[in-house]
């Protein structure tokens, strides 16, 4: 079983290649599939209160985990197709977010950066 994002990325590449799915895996199609799966994840939280969303029963938590896996797998596949290392992209984004959301103005606030 893969235990790093790099291992997972390689496993996803091999999975698609074995099924000759590369022809379907355009960035547009993968981004669309990612959004569909994210919607399925969101569906599990629809109509729940904040408190309920934080205390999911085990069977719901398992279903949510399955949807999180689908979202991650499509994101990894999209990263593969575009040649983007998602960890490096995220690491580059963190300092940019820190500039947009300085702790002294953003702490405890849900406002968007242009409203701080």
* Fold exhibited by the domain 5-84: Helix Hairpins (1.10.287)
> 3-state class of 100 per DSSP?
helix
Output the pLDDT for position 116: 93
Output the pLDDT for position 3: 82
Output the pLDDT for position 45: 98
Measured distance CA(66)–CA(3) in Å, rounded: 17
Burial of 47 (0-12, 13-18, 19+ CB in 10 A): exposed
pTM attached to this predicted model? 0.89
Output the pLDDT for position 22: 95
**What distance lies between CA 97 and its chain's CA centroid?**
17
Measured distance CA(5)–CA(85) in Å, rounded: 9
Q: Where are the domains of the chain?
A: 5-84, 86-116
pLDDT tens digits in sequence order for the chain, 116 residues long: 558 999 999 999 999 999 999 999 999 999 999 999 999 999 999 999 999 999 999 999 999 999 999 999 999 999 999 999 999 999 999 999 999 999 999 999 999 999 99
Output the pLDDT for position 13: 94
């Amino acid at each position: 079983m893969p235990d790093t994002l790099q291992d997972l990325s390689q496993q996803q590449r091999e999975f698609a290649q074995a099924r000759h799915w590369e022809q379907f895996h355009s960035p547009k199609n993968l981004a669309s599939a990612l959004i569909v799966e994210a919607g399925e994840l969101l569906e599990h939280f629809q109509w729940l209160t904040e408190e309920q969303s934080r205390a999911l029963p085990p069977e719901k938590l398992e279903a949510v985990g399955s949807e999180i896996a689908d979202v991650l797998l499509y994101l990894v596949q999209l990263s593969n197709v575009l040649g983007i290392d998602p960890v490096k992209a995220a690491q580059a984004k963190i300092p940019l977010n820190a500039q947009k959301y300085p702790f002294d103005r953003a702490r405890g606030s849900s406002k968007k950066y242009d409203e701080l």
